[in-house]
Amino acid sequence: MFQVVTGAAGFIGSCMVNKLNNKGQTNIIVVDDFSNPFKNRNLEHKAIAGKVHRNEFFDWMKDHHSQVEAVYHMGARTDTTEFNKDIFNELNLNYSKKVWEICTDASIPLVYASSAATYGLGEYGYRDDHEIVEKLKPLNPYGESKNDFDKWVLKQEKHPPFWAGVKFFNVYGPNEYHKARMASVVFHAFNQVRDTGMVKLFRSHKEGFEDGMQLRDFVYVKDVVNVLYFLMHTTPESGLYNLGTGNARAFLHLAESVFSAMDKPVNIQYIDTPLDIRDKYQYFTQADMDKLITKAWYSTPFYTLEDGVIEYVREFLVSNRNF
């Protein structure tokens, strides 16, 4: 039986393939567009059963759905600076609807990537409560596309035998080399320290927050794929699940961890938050992890920010190594 991973050449998708390999699973079908040689590095040395272009995936599924055991749908356009809604409607919303429908018709369990971007400025908190999904106000078309799919899913009367929409918070870790400006703050901080000996952070423009003390829920990609595998193989109650650590940390602490991992003295320069994003800039995000931990009984400890950054920097970034 096949395990299918969409977006498999991407950041989280390729780490998911690695996780499956580490669990002894090699009968994996990887789905992506495979047009970026730099991105395809993420799949080198991984054991897979075949590659399917994303445009040919649904035809492939028609012929092979009886052989598919599980689908991890990680494929999406993730550029938060892209404002062409048609792109998101095609690649995030409508494509995901087709994945859902074919998994429903063929009774295939589905775990898909949602996003904490659905929460917007956090007006309704950061709870993975189905009751607030219709009220959420994402800040960009990317977040809107993810929330639009979540809303559509919750209205469906027919569904896969198990499904989970996983709201990723600020994920960092190996295999994000291709993401350019959309890569994690850890990745950019490492490059800044290596090239200039300093890190630039946004100055605070909000009363009650000191410079560098803007807070995010940073989660290591190894924890992310551990949770995705756990959900697929324990099949708790279907629904939306937050995936962060439940512990917001400051950008300053992240930067200090990068300096420490590189054995460099802390050298931080604060710059003004650009005016075009200043009014939408989030000063706090933190995943409410109650559903995953107390209802789905996920008990594996998460990496601390310090431990995750040290491992990422020393084992991957310094040697430009893939996971």
Range of the domain at 96: 2-171+219-246+287-302
Do residue 108 and residue 189 come from a single domain? Answer: no
Buried b (16+ CB within 10 A) or exposed e, 29-58: bbbbebeeeebbbbbeebebeeebebeebe
Is residue 197 in some structural domain?
yes
Q: Is residue 121 within 8 Å of 136, Cβ to Cβ?
A: no
Of 242, 263, 245, residue with least CA distance to 300:
245
Is residue 323 in some structural domain?
no
**Positions in the chain short of pLDDT 70:** 79-82
Do residue 154 and residue 271 come from a single domain? Answer: no
Do residue 87 and residue 25 come from a single domain? Answer: yes
Do residue 237 and residue 209 come from a single domain? Answer: no
Do residue 82 and residue 199 come from a single domain? Answer: no
Q: pLDDT of 172-224, one tens digit each?
A: 999 999 998 889 999 999 999 999 999 999 999 999 999 999 999 999 999 99
Is residue 322 in some structural domain?
no
Residue 322, amino acid = N
Do residue 121 and residue 242 come from a single domain? Answer: yes
pLDDT at 79: 67
Catalytic residues: 142, 179
Is residue 253 in some structural domain?
yes
CA 241 from centre of chain: 12
Do residue 158 and residue 275 come from a single domain? Answer: no
pLDDT at 278: 85
Do residue 164 and residue 85 come from a single domain? Answer: yes
Do residue 142 and residue 226 come from a single domain? Answer: yes
- The predicted model scores a pTM of 0.96
The set of residues, in sequence order, having a beta carbon less than 8 Å from that of 300 and lying 6+ positions away, is: 223, 226, 230
**What CATH number is associated with residue 202?**
3.90.25.10
Do residue 118 and residue 230 come from a single domain? Answer: yes
Do residue 75 and residue 17 come from a single domain? Answer: yes
Start-end of H helices in the chain: 11-22, 37-40, 57-64, 85-88, 95-105, 141-154, 185-196, 221-234, 251-261, 275-278, 290, 305-312
Inter-CA distances, 125 with 23, 120, 128, 183, Å: 35, 9, 9, 25
**What CATH number is associated with residue 65?**
3.40.50.720
Domain tally, the chain: 2
pLDDT at 280: 80
pLDDT at 82: 66
